[in-house]
């Protein structure tokens, strides 16, 4: 079976530069009703939120409640 | 010993984070203070409204949503004058969450504000607090050139439900702005006077369908037998939304004489209207309307079917 050549895209994208998970923020993880977001340690040792499971409902509180505007939910074309 | 909760942080300890040199650290302190749900956090959050960073100020304005009272309201009023629109918007939203009437003390002095944004936010904030002192400035705000201000002012008057303000609401029901008229007509619902009823009947001929819909709906509360003939005319309105509200109001008023006129409406291709017609025909239980209902016992919409079967059962029970 051929390996995937490109990284899988997920609907919830977190801007590492804006994410303040390093300071203890877990707002997006806490508000997600499907519990698909997690906090991970980056290669540089800092922390950032990311989408672990691809099961988004596009309900948007992660984007709306993020205190720094680091989270973007990419809505599928047909939902716009 | 079982530990049910994490160690509780002292408010002063949490507030120490507001001195963090980084905005992100201060934002976290604001979030933690809000999560504490302790009213002792209010002065600290109020202080964060004046932070140098707009993100911290916005978070503080949002965090104050979880609290109530005059101090919270005072801090949010300060944020209404912020230089950043996002902070002002957050404060305006938080103001509408106030529930404690005492919080109105901080809003009342601003009900004559020259700044439109502040005026709209304070009127929206004091609406549900139902402070009688807000009546006079709200009536004065009905003369404001901005329709947004006038609409919020009507909301304040409507929530107070004071018969003394009936003439002001009647005037607002003839406002040049459609939405002001719509809100004013809905607000008239508290009064069962002839004046309110005549204003609502007149609005059934409004050139825009939103006020007509509001009038048709509100007549169920404010209207008497005199409005039935006008509501029956509204059953022929160009907009099904108006027809639906007229049907509902006729049902609430128990207008059995309108049943044979409502019957044919059940055949229209609008499920919501069919559902409402079936419910009202069941409510009125006029035996002659049975044939209209029977034709839709197997309607494609399950809600319509349910109401039709309920209505048929009521008519049959009444006939037995």
Cβ contact, residue pair B59, A67, below 8 Å: yes
Cβ contacts of B49 within 8 Å, gap of 6 or more:
B57, B60, B61, B75, B76, B78, B79, B82, B91
Q: Does A79 score more than 80 pLDDT?
A: no
- Sign, Cα dihedral of B59, B60, B61, B65: positive
Listed residues B97, B117, B133: the one ending a domain = B97
Tell me whether residue B262 is in a domain. Answer: yes
* pLDDT of amino acid B309: 96
Tell me whether residue B148 is in a domain. Answer: no
ipTM over 0.90: no
Check if B178 contacts A (Cβ < 8 Å).
no
Q: Does B288 score more than 80 pLDDT?
A: yes
* pLDDT of amino acid A1: 60
Domain carrying residue B47: 7-97
Cβ contact, residue pair A68, B55, below 8 Å: yes
Listed residues B202, B235, B253: the one ending a domain = B253
What's the whole-number average pLDDT of chain B?
A: 94
Q: How many domains does chain B have?
A: 3
Tell me whether residue B319 is in a domain. Answer: yes
Tell me whether residue B157 is in a domain. Answer: no
Listed residues B64, B97, B130: the one ending a domain = B97
B267 and B200 co-located in one domain: no
Q: What is the pLDDT of residues B62-88, one digit of tens each?
A: 999 999 999 999 999 999 999 999 999
* pLDDT of amino acid B20: 94
Check if B27 contacts A (Cβ < 8 Å).
yes
Provide the 3-class DSSP secondary structure of residue A38.
Answer: strand
B245 and B272 co-located in one domain: no
Which residues from A are below 8 Å from B30, CB to CB?
Answer: 67
B64 and B83 co-located in one domain: yes
Q: Greatest CA separation found in chain B?
A: 81
* pLDDT of amino acid B222: 86
Tell me whether residue B307 is in a domain. Answer: yes
Q: Does B143 score more than 60 pLDDT?
A: yes
Q: Does B1 score more than 50 pLDDT?
A: no
Which domains are seen in chain A, by residue range? 12-67 (3.30.70)
Looking at the DSSP bridge assignments, the partners of residue A51 are A37
Domain containing residue B297: CATH number? 1.25.10.10
B205 and B275 co-located in one domain: no
Q: What is the pLDDT of residues B240-271, one digit of tens each?
A: 999 999 999 999 999 999 999 999 999 999 99
* pLDDT of amino acid B124: 97
DSSP B186-242: HHGGG--SHHHHHHHHHHTT-SSHHHHHHHHHHHHHH--GGGHHHHHHHTT-SSHHH
Interface size A-B, in CB pairs within 8 Å, comes to 24
User: How large is the average pLDDT for residues A41-60?
Assistant: 88
Best B9, B18, B23, B28 member to test A by mutation, with max A CBs in 10 Å, is B28
B12 and B88 co-located in one domain: yes
Tell me whether residue B118 is in a domain. Answer: no
């Amino acid at each position: 079976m051929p390996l995937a050549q490109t990284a899988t895209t997920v609907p919830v994208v977190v801007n590492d530069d804006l994410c303040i998970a390093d300071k203890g923020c877990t707002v997006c993880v806490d508000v997600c009703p499907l519990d698909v977001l997690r906090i991970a340690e980056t290669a540089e040792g800092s922390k950032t939120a990311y989408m672990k499971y691809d099961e988004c409902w596009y309900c948007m509180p992660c984007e709306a409640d993020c205190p720094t505007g680091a989270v973007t939910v990419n809505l599928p074309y047909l939902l716009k | 010993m079982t530990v049910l909760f994490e160690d509780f942080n002292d408010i002063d300890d949490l507030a120490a984070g507001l001195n963090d040199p980084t905005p992100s650290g201060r934002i976290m302190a604001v979030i933690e203070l809000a999560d504490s749900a302790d009213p002792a956090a209010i002065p600290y959050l109020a202080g964060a409204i004046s932070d140098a960073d707009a993100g911290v100020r916005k978070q503080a304005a949002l965090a104050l949503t979880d609290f109530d009272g005059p101090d919270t309201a005072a801090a949010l009023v300060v944020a209404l004058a912020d230089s950043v629109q996002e902070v002002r918007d957050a404060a305006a939203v938080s103001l509408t969450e106030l529930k404690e009437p005492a919080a109105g003390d901080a809003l009342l002095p601003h009900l004559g504000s020259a700044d439109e944004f502040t005026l709209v936010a304070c009127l929206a904030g004091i609406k549900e607090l139902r402070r009688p002192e807000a009546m006079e400035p709200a009536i004065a705000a009905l003369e404001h050139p901005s329709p947004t201000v006038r609409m919020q002012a009507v909301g304040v008057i409507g929530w107070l439900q004071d018969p003394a303000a009936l003439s002001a609401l009647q005037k607002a029901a003839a406002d040049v702005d459609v939405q002001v008229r719509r809100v004013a007509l809905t607000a008239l619902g508290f009064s069962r006077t002839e004046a309110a009823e005549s204003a609502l009947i007149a609005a059934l001929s409004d050139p825009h369908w939103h006020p007509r819909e509001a009038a048709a709906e509100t007549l169920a509360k404010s209207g008497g037998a005199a409005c039935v003939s006008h509501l029956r005319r509204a059953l022929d309105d160009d907009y099904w939304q108006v027809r639906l509200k007229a049907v509902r109001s006729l049902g609430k008023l128990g207008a059995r004489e309108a049943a044979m006129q409502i019957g044919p409406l059940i055949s229209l291709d609008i499920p919501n209207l069919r559902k409402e017609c079936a419910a009202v025909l069941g409510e009125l239980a006029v035996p002659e309307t049975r044939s209209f209902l029977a034709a839709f016992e197997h309607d494609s919409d399950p809600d319509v079917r349910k109401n039709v079967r309920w209505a048929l059962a009521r008519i049959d029970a009444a006939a037995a």
